[in-house]
Amino acid sequence: MKSATMADKLNIHVLQSLTPFNSHGQDIVSEAARALLVSCVKADLSVHDTFFPTSLPHSLVAQVEPRLFPMTKLATAFVAYTISRCKDEFKFHQSINRQAAEDLLRDMVEGLHWKKLGFALYTMSYPDTVRDHKTAITLRDYMGDDSHIWAEKLLAEIMDPAWTNAILKKIIKGKYSDEDYNRDMNVLFVKLHLLDPQSVIPAFQFLLGQRALPAVNLELATRNYLGGILDFQVIRPEVETALRKPSVPLNVSRLSLDEVEVFYGVHVDEFIVTECRNMGLWTGKRPENYKMSKLKERCKVM
C-alpha cells in the first residue's frame, strides 16, 4: 500500500505528463530497453563465462521469456561481430567473417520477433524509467491493485471535450504536427497497456472517431522499439580482455626457468571454432595467439 504522502502526489495530471522522451526528443525507454538487451546477451550461457564472467545481470533479465527471441543466436553473432571489429595483435578478428556476422544480425533486427522482443523489453523498462521531474513519481507508482482505476481516469480525460479543444488549439497555432500527435497518442497507448490492457482499444476507437483531430495509428506492437544492430562498442572492452587472457599449458610450472609457450584467448578460440563455426561465421583461419615467454614475463602476466 502506498504511503499517504505518495497517495497525495499521485494525480491524473502527473500521469498524463509522464513521457519517455527527454528534452532532446530521445526515447529514454528505448535506450533502457537496449541496455537490458545487452545484459541479456552477456548473461547468455553461450558467451557469459568466456567474455563476461564478472558481469552481473540486470534485475529484469530473469523476467525475459526465453522463447520470445533466439537469444543464444543473437549473443553469438553479436560477440562474433565485435571480435571481427577488434584489430587485436593475435589476429582473432581474421577468424570471423565480419560481413556474414553483420548480415546475420541485420536479418534478426529486421524480423518480426525483434519487434516482439522490443515491445516486451520496452514495457518492462517503462514503469521505472519514466518519471516526473518535480515529484520523482514513476508509472510504477500508478501500477497495482488500482491500476485499472487510473486507466479509467486517463481514458475519461481524453474523452473530455476540453482535452480535444486543447489539442486543436495547438494544431491551429502550428505548434503541434500530425507526427507529434501520433507519437503522443502512442505514448498514451503504452501507459494504458501497462495500467489496464483492456483500455487500449476503447481509447484507440474513440480517437479514430474524432474527425477534428489527425488520424492516429496504433503502433503498440508494430513499432521497432530497439532500433538497429546493437553498438559493438558497448561490449568491446570485455571482448578484448577475453582475447588477451593468457594461459600456460597445465604441465608447465609457472616457475619454470625455461621459455614456454603462453597462449592467449584460448576459450575465445574454442568459441570461434564451435559456436561461430556452427553459424557459418568462422573463416577457417586460426589466431596467432601464442608467444614464447620467459619467467620474468610470466610473473607479470600471471
Task: Give tens-digit pLDDT for 53-72.
Answer: 999 999 999 999 999 999 99
For residue 260, the model assigns a pLDDT of: 74
For residue 232, the model assigns a pLDDT of: 98
pLDDT tens digits for range 110-158: 999 999 999 999 999 999 999 999 999 999 999 999 999 999 999 999 9
What sections of 173-235 are H helices per DSSP? 178-195, 200-208
pLDDT classification of 257: cutoffs 50, 70, 90: very low
* Average pLDDT of span 272-287: 97
Residue 249 has pLDDT above 70, yes or no: no
pLDDT classification of 291: cutoffs 50, 70, 90: confident
Residue 85 has pLDDT above 90, yes or no: yes
**Residue 179 and residue 123: Cα distance in Å, rounded?**
22
pLDDT classification of 1: cutoffs 50, 70, 90: very low
**Residue 297 and residue 231: Cα distance in Å, rounded?**
35
Per-residue cell: 51: 567474455
For residue 204, the model assigns a pLDDT of: 97
Choose between 297 and 128: higher pLDDT: 128
- The C-alpha cell 545487452 sits at 38
Choose between 258 and 57: higher pLDDT: 57
**Residue 179 and residue 121: Cα distance in Å, rounded?**
24
* Least-confidence region, from 5-19, 87-101, 150-164: 5-19
Residue 300 has pLDDT above 90, yes or no: no
Residue 9 has pLDDT above 90, yes or no: no
For residue 64, the model assigns a pLDDT of: 96
What CA–CA distances, in Å, run from 84 to 48, 79, 272?
Answer: 18, 9, 11
For residue 101, the model assigns a pLDDT of: 98
> For a pLDDT cut of 70, what percent of the chain falls above it?
90
* Average pLDDT of span 37-66: 97
Task: Walk across the sheet containing 290-293 and list its strands.
Answer: 246-247, 260-264, 290-293
For residue 298, the model assigns a pLDDT of: 47
| Best CA proximity match to 53, nearest among 268, 288, 247, 273 | 268
* Average pLDDT of span 97-113: 97
Q: Cβ–Cβ contacts within 10 Å for residue 181, how many?
A: 18
> Helix 147-158 to helix 178-195 angle, to the nearest 10 degrees?
150
